[in-house]
Amino acid sequence: MPRDLPLKALLLICLAMAACGPGRDAAPPAQPGEAANGELSPAGDRHPGAIVFNDKTDGRVWTKRAAEVPRTIAWVEAGAKWVPVVRIETSGAPGRREITAFGPGGRFLETSIQAPGPR
């Protein structure tokens, strides 16, 4: 996997490909009084509950509670506000995956692309 991908993209790839097992998520360290998982945003907002993962390449769909994933997966900063991620879709081919995060009401939040690095 390329080393120049941002941490958030790597985490999305890991979860979307179901490569992370319980306890292996790389959440950022919690600040005093803060949850290290996705249950709370950095601003203290509570996540609506769950994230649906839809891997269109492998034809699999599964759900994880926000508390089971790192905060960097469960929240996206949009302008000056933190928006909860409620759906992540993965499409593409085994060598190139596109991972798209959506918020409540189907709101597009961001897309990351996993592809081999230049040779």
| pLDDT by residue, tens only, the chain of 119 residues | 444 445 455 455 555 444 344 433 334 455 554 457 999 999 999 999 999 999 998 899 999 999 999 999 999 999 899 999 999 999 998 788 999 999 999 999 999 999 888 77
Q: Considering only CA atoms, which of 72, 118, 82, 117 is closest in space to residue 103?
A: 82
What is the reported pLDDT for 3?
Answer: 45
Bridge partners (DSSP) of residue 54 are 61, 89
- 90: how many CB neighbours lie within 10 A of its CB? 23
Domain locations along the chain: 1-21+50-119
Give the 3-state secondary structure of residue 118: coil
